[in-house]
């Protein structure tokens, strides 16, 4: 168990800078998820922490100690790779033992730890098989087991679930979370899947283009995104974005409708973006006086809920409502935008007004 701190961390390949000065503090015992689109630098960041990539500038501290110069194996970390990276020519037992043998651990101790990890991960009957003879889920367990036997201060996971099918992924997600609760170690987990991030993390770090966009607890990020990128990245279907201009006592939509905002004045000339999550929009009958007039373009039935795509004068809006919906494409409807659920983002993408809804404000 250990804290992890990154300070002004930079990575350059030749003259190309891919990580632009990252600052982050992960408390001891936290489950921290790095999430972002592919190419955002999250894997590079993880490999720098692991010691597999050199640090161009800045500092990495594990349990308060600078580790920049330490080779990978001496940082007290263990890593689970995306492809699992099990040694194909060794049995499961040998795979688990290899790292401990290299560290000169006594034989009895190796046997004890391997047996314990195997029991914990329910791979005892697989110990004498080769990786080739295992299913995807079993390989995943062995890869985790290889990290567990090392008893590391920090676990690193590099998109470990991306090679599994959907059902198994859900199951492994639950098991990993349980493992974290049981071991209590600090875990750093890289994924591009926001569902994994939301469900597993204590602390989400959203990365984009080699920078941290926002770091914080999952619901905090979901309800109070710091910028357009985070707002758009988390949540499915995505948050609706509409271009707006400030107006007296609120904002004016592209359709000309005015939306009252009880918050302080927003200046006058700036181009703003209004963001509102699909589940916060409500539908009203076409005859109703309130709301934006629009026409349904597409109805997606998911069983428990319905996604509606409605074309309005202010732009296309996606709505998410529970249950079923009898409407069909082409129906005329009205969409009600509740002002208290709206975020406003400035021209630079930063939030200028957060929604009043959320865990803190109810």
Partner 1 sequence: MASLATSGVLDLVTRTRGKGRLHWTDWLAYGYLLLGLFLMFGPVVWVVLSSFKSEAQLLEFPPTALPYGQVSVAVPGYPEPLPLFRVRMPDGSLREVAQIRRIGIQAQMVDPAAPETILRVDIAGREPVRALSLATENYTALFERFDFLRYLWNSVFITVTATLIMLLVNSMAAFALAKYDFRGRDLVFVLTIATLLIPPTVVLVPVFLVVAKLGLLDTPWGVIWPGAATPTGVFLLRQYMLTIPDELIDAARMDNASEWKIYWRIVLPLAAPALAVLAIFAVMWRWNDFLLPLIVLSRSEQFTLQLALNSFKGEMHTQWGNLLAMTVLTLLPITLVFGFLQRYITTGIATTGIK
Partner 2 sequence: MRLAAPLHRLLELVDRPMAALQRRIGPQRFAWIFLLPNLVIFAVFTYLPIVLNFVYATTGGLAVLPSERPFVGLENFASLLDCRDYLDPSSCSKDLFWRSLFNTGRFVVLQVGFMILFSLITALVLNREIRGRGFFRGVFFYPVLLSPVVVALIWKWILQREGVLNAWLVAFGGEPVQWLLDAGWSFFWVVFVSIWAHMGFYMLILLAGLQAIPKDVYEAAEMDAASPWRMLTRITLPLLMPTMLVVVVLALIKGVQTFDEIYVLTGGGPGSATMLVVQYIYETGFAAQPRLYGLAAAASLLLAALLMILTLLQLRANRKSYRG
Q: What is the contact surface with partner 1 in residues (CB under 8 A)?
A: 47, 50-52, 71-74, 77-79, 81-83, 85-89, 98-99, 102-103, 146, 150
Closest CA to 100 of 81, 116, 88: 116
Q: Which is nearer to partner 2, 89 or 112 (CB)?
A: 89
Tell me if 71 contacts partner 2 by CB under 8 A: yes
In a 13 Å sphere around the CA of 20, the CA atoms on its Cβ side amount to 9
83 binds, among partner 1, partner 2, none (CB under 5 to 8 A by kind): partner 1
**For residues 70 and 36, what is the distance between their CA atoms, to the nearest angstrom?**
28
256 belongs to the binding site for partner 2 (CB under 8 A) = no
Q: Is 289 in the site for partner 2 (CB under 8 A)?
A: no
Task: Using DSSP bridges, classify how beta strands 240-247 and 272-276 pair: parallel, antiparallel or unpaired.
Answer: antiparallel
Q: Contact between 299 and partner 2 (CB under 8 A)?
A: no
d(CA 293, CA 311): 9
Buried b / exposed e across 193-208, counting CB within 10 Å, b at 16+? Answer: bbebbbebbbbbbbbb
* Residue placing its CB nearer to partner 2 in the complex, 71 or 106: 71
Residue 90 touches partner 2, criterion: CB under 8 A: yes
Find the shortest distance in angstroms from Cβ 89 to partner 1. 4
Question: Which CB, 90 or 183, lies closer to partner 2?
Answer: 90
**Residue pointed to by tokens 């076409």:** 286
Q: At what angle do helices 107-121 and 92-102 cross, to 10 degrees?
A: 140
Which of 90, 356 has the CB closer to partner 2?
90
Q: Which of 89, 122, 295, 301 binds partner 2 (CB under 8 A)?
A: 89
Q: What is the DSSP string of 111-164?
A: HHHHHHHHHHHT-GGGTTS-GGGS-HHHHHHHHHHHHHTT--SEEEEESTTTTS
| Residue 50 touches which of partner 1, partner 2, none (Cβ within 5-8 Å per kind) | partner 1
| Least spacing, CB of residue 133 vs partner 2, in Å | 15
Residues making contact with partner 2 (CB under 8 A): 71, 89-90
């Amino acid at each position: 168990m250990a804290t992890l701190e990154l300070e002004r961390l930079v990575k350059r390949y030749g003259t190309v800078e891919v990580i632009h000065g990252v600052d982050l503090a992960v408390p001891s015992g936290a489950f921290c998820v790095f999430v972002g689109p592919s190419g955002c630098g999250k894997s590079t960041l993880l490999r720098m922490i692991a010691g597999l990539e050199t640090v161009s500038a800045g500092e990495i501290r594990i349990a308060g100690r600078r580790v920049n110069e330490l080779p990978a194996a001496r940082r007290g970390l263990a890593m689970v790779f995306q492809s699992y990276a099990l040694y194909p020519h060794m049995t499961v037992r040998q795979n688990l033992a290899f790292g401990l043998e290299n560290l000169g651990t006594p034989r009895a101790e190796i046997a004890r730890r391997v047996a314990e990890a195997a029991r914990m991960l329910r791979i005892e009957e697989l110990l004498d098989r080769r990786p080739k003879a295992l299913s995807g889920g079993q390989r995943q367990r062995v890869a985790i087991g290889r990290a567990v036997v090392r008893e590391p201060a920090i676990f690193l996971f590099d998109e470990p679930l991306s090679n599994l099918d959907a059902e198994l992924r859900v199951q492994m997600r639950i098991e990993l979370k349980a493992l974290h609760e049981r071991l209590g170690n600090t875990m750093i987990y890289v994924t591009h899947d926001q569902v994994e991030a939301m469900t597993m993390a204590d602390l989400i770090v959203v990365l984009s283009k080699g920078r941290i966009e926002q770091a914080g607890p999952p619901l905090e990020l979901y309800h109070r995104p710091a910028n357009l990128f985070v707002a758009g990245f988390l949540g499915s279907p995505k948050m609706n974005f509409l271009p707006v201009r400030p107006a007296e006592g609120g904002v004016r939509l592209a359709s000309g409708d005015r939306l009252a905002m009880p918050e302080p004045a927003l200046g006058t000339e700036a181009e703003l973006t209004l963001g509102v999550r699909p589940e916060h929009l409500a539908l009203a009958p076409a005859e109703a006086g309130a709301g934006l007039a629009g026409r349904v373009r597409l109805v997606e039935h998911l069983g428990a809920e319905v996604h509606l795509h409605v074309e309005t004068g202010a732009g296309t809006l996606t709505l998410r409502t529970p249950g079923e919906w009898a409407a069909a494409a082409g129906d005329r409807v009205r969409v009600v935008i509740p002002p208290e659920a709206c975020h406003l983002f400035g021209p630079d993408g930063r939030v200028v007004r957060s929604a009043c809804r959320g865990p803190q404000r109810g």
